[in-house]
Chains A and B, each alone.
Chain A
Amino acid sequence: MISARGLRKAFGDFEAVKGIDVEVRRGEAFGFLGPNGAGKSSTMRMIASVSPVSSGELRILGMDPATDGPAIRGRLGVCPQEDTLDNELNVFDNLYIYGRYFGIDRATCRERAQELLEFAQITDKAKAKVEDLSGGMKRRLTIARSLINNPDLLLLDEPTTGLDPQARHVLWDQLFRLKQAGVTLVITTHYMDEAEQLCDRLVVMDKGLIAAEGSPRQLIDAHSTREVAELRFGVGEHEALAEKIEDLGERIEVLPDRLLVYSDHGEDVVTAVLDRGLHPIATLVRRSTLEDVFLRLTGRSLAD
């Protein structure tokens, strides 16, 4: 569905995407996970065939965005990071008018718009102005709009940013169903739980480059230990204490508010720490997540 080789995007002297290789297969859910400024949106806009490729090769649905732009865009659904809803149109018209741009006939368009209002759970707002919607509702409307043309490939740039937890889960469920129906999904996110929940495969992106690639499980296995012991001490003590317990795990990360000790046996680490006469305020043993992978690969946490 998507194939990129040595893909780059430059804005003047600044390179936002510095040569990435990506393959997305039909029917899978593929993720770009990365912090602010990683180049996720820049990549998505190139895939959406609205932003010209600076260099490298890009094929979407077997076509070249430079020469087949309209044909590609006709089969994509795009949910941009920043909503591009028309504030001057009401909710229903935002769907209906957008559908007309794809050449969908009026009756079908009206029917689809109605269905999508239900999908987004905003049927009662059909005649409301977009301005009067909450941020989460706007987001859902944008996603609904991206589905108006029954796309083969759906591009979602941070689909759940700004949604409350319940709305996020509803949306995940809906995206999962789309996937079941055969739609290929490409998602960017900085939520690792979202990436774990939704993505069959993902790449970790940082500073315009791909740092790692694989399924969430593979990435965790390859770049982290089975478990992590989190130790919280008093403010300012973490740096010094890290040296005393460095040998207890395979690796140790010092965060401002806690120490992360990576080991396949987290409980043993905690026991050993206590044996050394150290008294953490709080301890927690948990499984490794993509957050840990990310920390390992980039030296930063996703929240930054």
Chain B
Amino acid sequence: MASDMASDTGSDTASGTKPPTTSARPVRPTGSLSAWEGMARQYDYWLTVLKRTWRGGVVSSFLTPLLYVVAMGVLLGGFIEGDPDRLEGASSYLAFVVPGLVASHAMTIAVSESTYPVMGSIKWHKTFFAQLATPLAVRDLVNAYVAFVMFRVASACAVFMLVIAPFGVFATWWGPILAWLSQVLVGFAFTTLVFSYSARLKSEEGFGLLFRLGVIPLTLFSGAFFPISNLGPVLEWVARLTPLWHGVSLSRMFCVDRIDWALAALNVTVLVTLTVVGWFLAVRNLDRRLEV
């Protein structure tokens, strides 16, 4: 059963490994997997998760947002005058609201996939503990997790954009592609940040707080449904500080083809920065949480 091995009991010089050092954590321990290999080894696991959850995903990812489009965009939007100057360049309210809706939808999926399921992997299913007994490291767990959530976000947003395309809400054919990439960026930022929050959380109550004080206000006041200029100068600036607004701003300017490249660069920088910071926090928090 056991294969023969080169090294044996403790004697470090004989086994040819490095001399004894006291346990300072190295940046890359020997035997660490490349980021790609670390994720590839979890592919089969996440495939089973997808097989188990895709039905519910279809409803919440595709059906619910389409209902929103019909209700808000078509029915409610019918009452709203389509003046491009008051709608950030959009030709109709539907064309205005769709890019915002999809961006906020990206956030919603990212948040819901990074809250209870993260706690479940720690507390209820112990998935993370089992995984850490193998060559996988905390970093690998975070990467694969984020990759899975991003698959959900990216596919949901893509389908959404494709379905809505025939309704003539997009100004160019290439704008929506950039808009889709912006929505993916929104997903990345929220997945990593919320993951880092969930990794620290001891009880589910914290999620209620996150939804009530985070997700709902952001959805309503980040410019998805109305121009933030309607908020008045002070609140408008508050809205500009929220991560979702940067995503809505990108998504919309690409869809309606009124692009301010300097602003776009700022929006992208903010979202990428949040993603990077979120990723480091996620790895650090999960590492602390799982340490025994």
Contacts and interface: CB of A to CB of B under 8 A. Distances in A.
B2 interface: yes
A1 B9 CA distance: 4
B48 A75 contact: no
Interface residues of B, number: 50
Contacts of A67: 18, 21, 23, 26, 29-30
B203 interface: no
Contacts of A68: 17, 29-31
B289 to A, nearest CB: 13
Interface stretch (B38-46, B173-181, B206-214): B38-46
A199 to B, nearest CB: 18
A278 interface: no
Interface stretch (B65-73, B93-101, B128-136, B261-269): B128-136
B24 interface: yes
B12 A98 contact: no
A93 B20 CA distance: 39
A62 B10 contact: yes
A139 to B, nearest CB: 15
B291 interface: yes
Given A62-B10, A74-B134, A87-B125, A150 B1 contact: yes
B230 interface: no
Contact of B135 (A48, A102, A178, A182): A102
B242 interface: no
B181 to A, nearest CB: 31
Contacts of B205: none
B204 interface: no
B23 A88 contact: no
A89 B48 CA distance: 8
A93 B23 contact: no
A61 B8 contact: yes
Contacts of B42: 100-101
B137 interface: yes
Contact of B31 (A1, A70, A97): A70
24 contacts: A1-B9, A25-B9, A48-B133, A50-B292, A57-B20, A61-B5, A61-B8, A62-B7, A62-B17, A67-B30, A68-B29, A69-B29, A70-B29, A70-B33, A71-B31, A72-B31, A73-B31, A80-B129, A87-B124, A97-B44, A98-B130, A102-B134, A103-B33, A152-B3
